[in-house]
Amino acid sequence: MIACAFPGQGVQKVGMAADLYASQKRYFDQASEILGYDLLELCQKGPLEKLSSTQYAQPAIMVTCISFWSEYIKTATPKVLLGHSLGMVTAFIAAGAVEFSDGVKIVARRGELMHDSPTPGQMTAILGLDADTVEEIVAQAQQVGTVTVANYNCPDQYVISGQTEAVEHASKLAEERGAKRTIKLGVSGPFHSSLMERAAEQFGRYIEQFAFSDPKYPVISNINSRLITTAEQVKMELVAQISKPVDWIGNIKALEQLGATALVEIGPGNVLVGLTKRITENLELISFP
């Protein structure tokens, strides 16, 4: 059984849409008309600083991934989809739960709200510690301020998110406990933490104007690793995941329990293939294109 996964913010790079076929460029033309700027030119020529800014990165990554997906499904039939953070929105569009044109608007608004989050904060990756240790550190650091585990990426890589002082304190504690590295992420807010609840509420109100459908492929929830099969579940996941952790480890374990034999990452780079390789040896891992 084949599963397909879509990456999140951070995979953007100048030239990431260079391998597009002419037929795929229609997605960029349509998105550019909706967004009011030339998205393909931004993806092809940058500058990287602009492309990496949340409100531009999210539409750019989604449209690039959907254009690749449109080519991939000409010759393959996956049975289940996954996404990492932003990649969940892409997965819902790929699954037909959201129309592409609506998806562009939804992703653009998601990026704007996350970029303009009124609550300052940061995210930091912790490498080389297990989940229990990271959770203990986070519990200690909560005495300083709001901080949580935001991404359970693989058994030795976790991302924490929250108020800057609390995240920095947790990073220091992690180094004292033997972390190989702590890396401050270049994002504009404390994503996937309770500090994003206001943004999630605003986003929830925004998406009420759109029609959602039951997905043609089941999608594994980032939050609880259960299968999303209805339009109402799609809406709930889109809103909740902005302020809830991404459990990629749990997602991959759920995928294995479903009987998957291969995971194909659709999009630029191979970040998810790299993470999944450190979670399991039981899946054939492929990057497309």
- Catalytic residue at 84? no
* pLDDT tier for residue 21 given thresholds of 50, 70 and 90: low
d(CA 101, CA 113): 19
Domain spans, the chain: 2-117+194-288, 122-184
Q: What per-residue confidence (pLDDT) applies to 118?
A: 72
Catalytic residue among 85, 117, 193, 221: 85
Architecture of the 2-117+194-288 domain: 3-Layer(aba) Sandwich (3.40)
**CB of 204 within 8 A of CB of 182?**
no
Which alpha helices (H) appear in the chain, and where do they start and end?
25-35, 39-45, 48-52, 54-72, 86-94, 100-115, 131-141, 164-176, 197-206, 231-240, 248-257, 271-277
pLDDT at 154: 98
pLDDT at 188 over 80: no
* Pairing label, strands 246-247, 227-228: unpaired
Q: In terms of CATH, what superfamily is 122-184?
A: Malonyl-CoA ACP transacylase, ACP-binding (3.30.70.250)
Q: What is the pLDDT of residues 83-142, one digit of tens each?
A: 999 999 999 999 999 999 999 999 999 999 998 877 789 999 999 999 999 999 999 999
User: Which of these is catalytic: 117, 192, 225, 243?
Assistant: 192
- 247 phi-psi bin (left φ>0, alpha ψ -120 to 50, beta other): beta
Extract the tokens encoding 129.
Answer: 């510690």
Examine the residue annotation and report whether 169 is marked as an active-site residue of this protein. Answer: no
* Nearest-angstrom CA–CA distance, 81 and 234: 13
Is the pLDDT at 263 greater than 90? The verdict is yes
pLDDT at 5 over 80: yes
Element (H, E) at 220: strand 219-220
CA atoms within 13 A on the CB side of 144: 19
